[in-house]
Structure 1
């Protein structure tokens, strides 16, 4: 059979089958005239708050620079300084609980300490985690704080409608919050099958299965991609169990109908 060309409509339908979360018509409008944080609209106040945050971020970057210079670093030497940075972010959040960026950065620091599998009991220490051994309560508390921060950041910054404009800063922070939560969910999905969750009982994730964590990770990666994170966008399909199956079916269908296809 001679090769056939696909119409744009065919391509869109096939892409939708491969990625059920995709919607090419749904875009996010960035408007630099809007406040950088929708909940701190006073520019002078925002500058003071963000400056405090930048000072903490600089401290964490300095710690990372030191770690990178040492071939075999004693990571335990950096745990307390990292925890001090988390405490400083906590103080900033206590003063300005609706400042989403600080919550996003505190979650990132917690991930650096405990790793993305902190929701799983008896999970092995991940290479990027500074804390190798931690009590179950310490990990549970860390997971609760990280997930709570990301949930709140997403709630604070999510636009009221799909087409509502956002400031570039808010858009970037929202994409990072979704992507971070997706990373935690994705890592959890890989370890939860052989262990158990140590999420607080009142949280929705407490009774999730490995598949539910995987699906939630894919949804969050897709949202992170929609708000501008290209890495999250590419991970959305590869981590979506339904999309992976659909993708295989689509490729097989196209192979039979049109000949060999490029994935």
Structure 2
């Protein structure tokens, strides 16, 4: 399949992308963070955040939470810390606090796709767990728009129009190519 075919299928299954072009994940973007934080302070924040991630990976969730609280208190505009703290809150089964942090991450993301795709996808999963089907689908679509392949797959599978379109395409293809 050529690139233009993929683009057409992407627009069929994700009609909200029409006129916006297709999201292309930037492999370098996670290493950068567009901010007014001075470079030395940003380096320190990333180190603090990494410590928190290590603690969380080792099951030391309360320690990870305390470290992320320190990171956020030092720089309340640092969006990646909100994403990570939300994950810790989810593991601690504090969904309300996680949702609040994900809202903050979206708000403070400065339009950066890598932060938005994480926050929207994580928030969609959380909303789905909390029973907010419409809110979840909307966030999966936003996560997909910002380049999350997981969010894209779920948004397509949950979208009733995409399901109908997919069924119609499969019927046409089966007739055309005698698929079984």
Q: Verify same fold: TM over 0.5.
A: yes
1:67-89 deviations in whole A, cap 9, x for unaligned? xxxxxxxxxxxxxx413321321
As a proportion of its length, which structure holds more helix? 2
Higher relative contact order (Cα pairs below 8 Å, separated by 6+ residues): 1
Alignment equivalent of 1:176, drawn from 93, 118, 131:
118
Contact kept? 2:55, 2:63, Cα under 8 Å: no
Does residue 47 (structure 1) correspond to residue 54 (structure 2)? The answer is no
Alignment equivalent of 1:87, drawn from 31, 50, 66:
66
Count of residues in Structure 1 that have an aligned counterpart in Structure 2: 175
Contact kept? 1:221, 1:235, Cα under 8 Å: yes
Distance of 1:36 and 1:255 partners within structure 2: 43
Alignment of 1:1-263 (within 5 A): 12=8, 16-23=11-18, 25-27=21-23, 30=26, 36-63=32-59, 81-114=60-93, 142-159=94-111, 170-189=112-131, 213-252=132-171, 254=172, 258=176, 260=178
Evaluate the alpha carbon distance shift between residue 157 and residue 260 of structure 1 in structure 2; reply closer, same or farther with a 3 A threshold.
Answer: farther
Unaligned 5+ segments in structure 2 are: none
1:49 shift after superposition: 1.1
TM-score normalised by length of structure 1: 0.55
Evaluate the alpha carbon distance shift between residue 255 and residue 50 of structure 1 in structure 2; reply closer, same or farther with a 3 A threshold.
Answer: closer
1:17-36 deviations in whole A, cap 9, x for unaligned? 44333447233574959983
1:101 shift after superposition: 0.8
Distance of 1:17 and 1:33 partners within structure 2: 27
**Structure 1 ranges of 4+ moved more than 6 A:** none
Distance of 1:244 and 1:39 partners within structure 2: 40
TM-score normalised by length of structure 2: 0.77
